[in-house]
Chains A and B, each alone.
Chain A
Amino acid sequence: MSVLQEISANVRNMKSMEYPVLARRTNQIQEELRKGVRKPYRDVIDVSWGDPHRAGVKPLSFVRQVLAACLYPKLMEGDRLMVDVRQRAQRLLKECAGGSIGSYSNTAGIPEIVQRVSEFITRRDGGVPCRRENIFISSGSQWALANILKVLVNSEASPRTGVLTPVPCHSTTILSLMALGAAAVPYHLTEERGWALEVEELQRALDSAKGVCSPVALYVINPGNPAGYVQNRKSMQEVIRFAAEKRLFLLADEVYQDCVYGKTEFVSYKRALAEMGPPLSETVELASFHTASKGLMGECGLRAGYVELVNLDPAVMKHINSLFSTNSCAPVLGQIALDVMTNPPQPGDPSYPLYMKETQHIRTSLAENVRRVEEVVNSLPGFSCQPVEGGAFAFPTVFLPPKAIERAKEVGMKPDTFYCLRLLEEAGLLFSPGTEYGQKEGTYHIRFCIMIPLDVMEELLRRLSGFHKRFMKEFS
């Protein structure tokens, strides 16, 4: 009789994702391809995660050279590496205990790196001051988010703690909430208006929580994931006012702040808050998250993110520090990546030309990808895609024919998962079904990453078009 028949109820209640089914089939197909089984495609294009490197985007040379030099300082002998690479690596090594990236760092991160991150934030926000004591570097932004949620969520409370979350919302945050025994209180973004966040909807969501759970926080993603919106200042100010009025802690997931393609500029919640002046700027409690996983660097595997905490009670900050300290520290290589992200090569630096070339290439490819996706997807009947203003994904609506929906039910699958599985089988494209993220009842979406090389995008769109036409015909 197993000891473990009984496990944490919170863990049990975490919803299962659709992803494992698709991932398993992908592994099988890849194995079959390796064995030489003939398929209408020669490889599986995996765009199910916001993972640029996986899809073939190259890492930026400067950061990798700095990492290599920090890992193996002997590389800095001679002229193999550029002068600014060597200087950066030497400075970083001096800032590590014992001159090695193998030692632990301070809880919140290597102090000099944290300082430079705080300066970056100030520059980004047009001079709004940033205190380094408010920053914690973590093993990916989701880790920091989980820690902050832990402080907010009282797992023993009745009714349960609630956190307002957008629909659609990427699944990791929802799973984190469930693991803590909190309730996600969904508020719907308005797809027809470019996934706009409307305060009336926030109010409705809050009202729906009465008697069910006790909301303590409002989680916003800007730029969005999976939906590719970028909030404008007016919308952000409404959100801030709402949070202040309803006494909600504001959690701003801003990891895609460097992925902006449309006309709306990214403004951080901190800046928007500061611009609203006192009393709000001095009272609204805010946690803002950023990462080295996205943007131009795309270093997901290094696990480097941070949280900046604004206007928190100092006594609570002490406890937050204790909590982070139990994680020891964020991986040092990740911290170095963050350092490079917030302090890239400047004009005049030897590495600057190459850095500019590489980042320009990525920016141009992304802009072109966005244009092509909107063009192609919107031209296909049965698809409708809101403008991708920012973020890493396209999240079009698929108007699935009733027959397809029925077939999906017959095989015991969600309709959009069914679509994605067929897409995988027949076109070798691994997308993610909208079910994963939440969507209005009766609507279906698919999500795919657009931070991929240009040629891969063309191939993807070609295969998608072909498959989609066939699928729609089959189930018409």
Chain B
Amino acid sequence: MSQQAVNGVPCRGKVLTVENMNPNVKRVEYAVRGPIVQRAVQIEKELREGVKKPFTEVIKANIGDAHAMGQKPITFFRQVLALCSYPELLEDNKFPEDAKKRARRILGACGGHSIGAYSASQGIECIRQDVAGYIQRRDGGIPSNPDNIYLSTGASDAIVTILKLLVCGEGRERTGVMISIPQYPLYSAALADLGAVQINYYLDEDNCWSLNVAELRRALNDARQRCRPRVLCIINPGNPTGQVQSRQCIEDVIRFAKEENLFLMADEVYQDNVYADGCKFHSFKKVLFEMGEEYSSTVEMASFHSTSKCYMGECGFRGGYMEVLNMDPDVKAQLTKLVSVRLCPPVPGQALLDLVVNPPQPDEPSYASFMKERTAVLAALAEKARLTEEIFNTVPGITCNPVQGAMYTFPRIALPQKAIDKAKVCRYTPCSTRNLTPTRKRRRVCVSPAGGRRSSRHVLLYEAAGGGGNLLGARQRLRSEGRHLPLQVSLTGRFKYLTEAFTRLKENVWFSKVFRNTDLKKKNVCIYIQLQKKKGNKNPSLA
């Protein structure tokens, strides 16, 4: 962008341009806050300005932000933090004693008794001790050394710090970092920023997003030609997939990491978010130690946790930590040096973390209400996980794996070719912007068992014009597979057709509930029908 000389002073182009800026930064994309979110913000602006749309608000379900969606904070935590912020409140008798006790302890560990003082870069010492204590209790007594704990500005900060430390080498010796596909885009962004080589290993969608060591091996061997693989990142419970790794799987991964001499990064920020029956959170550290000294004294690992998720949902505090294991002491000294550049993590986040690892105990006054709130939050999340999977699986073209844990659902959407083509023209990747829009020519009838938690298979039918007979056929088929009423049917298509099909339905089966949903373009109508016996069964699913 050159400009004309004014007053004899030549005005050349910008000093900092897209051409001469750091090329790595150009590659950084963070979808969670990317172009779609920007468009959402624009749409919200338009709504405020009175532009008419088929909806009155944008529901921002793109980010794991529980409070933004109405989840309430844990009272006890907020009480202690208020006391820490304004210690005059310690005189107030409206605060319970256990809250005051913790506030006093935290303030005592702060410079000048203020949360406004810098802390040590690694984090306030007594809080690191409490974190170590928590880890030890969580892992059935396996010792945790406070010196190995680094408090951080959210788990993301710690993750990026470790990557900064590890990524080195040039050309074909450049560090390769293995990350799951699908992944949480912080990893790809950080790797792009650092100029590291991203090595993708694919989770198995057909098997509930499970992790396969054979796939890890494939990815690693492929990558060896173009980089030096040194790091393996696992997110457990998974983001965005929600899968909770089995103990066996974790053992296999650890074995693999040891064989291939990889540094393990275990992102465990969703460790309290486990919903599915039969699933349990196993910390990588615990499994490592239970595999015996051969592993526990050699495998180098960092585990990450945060105050942003689980039942706390306190994203805005930017609290988190990592525990490093078996790190070379010289390297650890470098890590300590590196974290000092950030000065220190936010002290309120450190204080909050202290409360998370040191919650009210059964003999304390706040215990009952704390447990009530915690249980309610986790139960609500579990219910939403179940409901989401169920509802999505009733929609034609959407298949949804069970949400075993974490805070997301990641259904698969079958995009019609036309949508994909249109997306290419609009320069979006197909799945990023287009919702399923049934084609005008096809009408779909989708029949699936209602209420089942693992209704992973459903019958998708293409209903010819004027049809209705297929519906019965579908029902018979499902029945023969052992699936009986109640059934859910969703019909999408032109209104005229639906009226027809509906009439035929009425003739053939009983139904109890009808939902109607009009999509944005008002061309296609979606009817969800619940079919069940006339008397008796109350289907608890769709409300």
Q: Do these two chains interact? A: yes
Say whether, besides A151-B21, A249-B16, A326 and B186 are in contact (CB < 8 Å). Answer: yes
How far is B300's CA from A355's CA once the two chains are assembled, in angstroms?
A: 52
Give the docked Cα–Cα distance between A345 and B85 (Å). Answer: 19
B394 within 8 A of A: no
For B120, list chain A residues within 8 Å (CB).
23
Contact A17 B16 (CB under 8 A): no
Is A283's beta carbon under 8 Å from chain B? yes
Smallest Cβ distance from A345 to chain B, in angstroms?
16
Closest chain-A Cβ to B325's Cβ sits at a distance in Å of 12
Q: Which chain A residue lies CB-closest to B89?
A: A68
Residue tally, chain B, CB below 8 Å to A? 99
Across the interface, which residues of B come within 8 angstroms of A101, CB to CB?
316-317
- CB contacts (< 8 Å) of B7 on chain A: these are 279
A102 touches B316 (CB 8 A): yes
Say whether B341 contacts A75, CB under 8 Å: no
Segment 219-234 of B: residues with Cβ below 8 Å from A:
230
CA distance A101 to B186 in the complex (A): 23
CA distance A265 to B516 in the complex (A): 68
Tell me if A142 counts as interface (CB < 8 A to partner B): yes
Residue of B nearest to A140 (CB): B343
Q: Is A443 an interface residue (CB 8 A)?
A: no
- The verdict on A59 contacting B337 (CB below 8 Å), with A72-B78, A152-B21, A156-B195 known, is no
With both chains docked as a complex, state the minimum distance between the C-beta of A23 and any C-beta of chain B, in angstroms: 8
B18 touches A279 (CB 8 A): no
Instruction: Point out the residues of chain B lying under 8 angstroms from A102, CB to CB.
Output: 66-67, 73, 312-317
Docked complex: B74-96 residues within 8 A CB-CB of A: 78-79, 81-83, 85-86, 89, 92
Is A142 a contact of B68 with CB atoms below 8 Å? no
B86 A142 Cβ-Cβ under 8 A = no
Chain A residues with CB under 8 Å of B230's CB are 3
Neighbour of A322 across the interface among B28, B69, B78, B195, CB < 8 A: B28
Q: Are A146 and B116 CB-contacts (below 8 A) given A98-B68, A312-B14, A322-B28? A: no
Contact yes or no, B25 A150, CB < 8 A: yes
Contact check, B6 vs A279: say whether CB atoms are below 8 A apart. yes
Interface residues of A in 265-312 (CB under 8 A from B): 278-280, 283, 285, 297-303, 311-312
Give the A-B pair count, Cβ closer than 8 A. Answer: 295
B337 A279 Cβ-Cβ under 8 A: no
Assuming A72-B81, A98-B68, A331-B153, is B348 touching A325 (CB within 8 A)? Answer: no
| Minimum C-beta distance from A198 to chain B (A) | 22
Which A residues between 295 and 354 are near B, CB-CB below 8 angstroms? 297-303, 311-313, 315-316, 319, 322-323, 325-334
> Would you call A155 and B22 a contact (CB within 8 A)?
yes
Do residues B344 and A301 form an inter-chain contact, with CB atoms below 8 A? yes
Which A residues touch B12, using CB under 8 A?
247
Inter-chain contacts of B346 with A (CB < 8 A): 139, 301-303, 331, 333-334
The answer to whether B82 and A68 have CB atoms under 8 Å apart is: yes
Of A14, A152, A283, which is within 8 A of B22 by CB? Answer: A152
The interface residues of chain A lying within 8 Å CB-to-CB of B145 are: none
15 A-B residue pairs with CB within 8 Å = A4-B166, A54-B112, A64-B86, A98-B67, A102-B66, A103-B68, A103-B316, A143-B342, A151-B21, A179-B341, A216-B15, A280-B9, A302-B348, A303-B344, A323-B25
- 4 A-B pairs besides A75-B82, A140-B343 with CB distance below 8 A are A56-B112, A142-B341, A283-B14, A300-B116
**B-side interface residues toward A, CB under 8 Å?**
1, 3, 6-7, 9, 11-12, 14-18, 20-26, 28-30, 32-34, 41, 60, 63, 65-73, 78-79, 81-83, 85-86, 89, 92, 110-112, 114-120, 153-154, 156-157, 164-169, 186, 189-190, 193, 195, 230, 261-263, 300, 312-318, 327-328, 331, 334, 337-338, 340-349
For the complex of A and B, 9 pairs with smallest distance between CB atoms: A54-B111, A301-B347, A332-B316, A97-B68, A72-B82, A53-B114, A100-B67, A68-B86, A325-B33
Q: Which residues in A have some Cβ–Cβ distance to B below 8 Å?
A: 1-9, 11-12, 14, 16-17, 23, 46, 49, 51, 53-59, 61, 64-65, 67-69, 71-72, 75, 80, 96-98, 100-107, 139-140, 142-143, 146, 150-156, 172, 175-176, 179, 216, 244, 247-249, 278-280, 283, 285, 297-303, 311-313, 315-316, 319, 322-323, 325-334
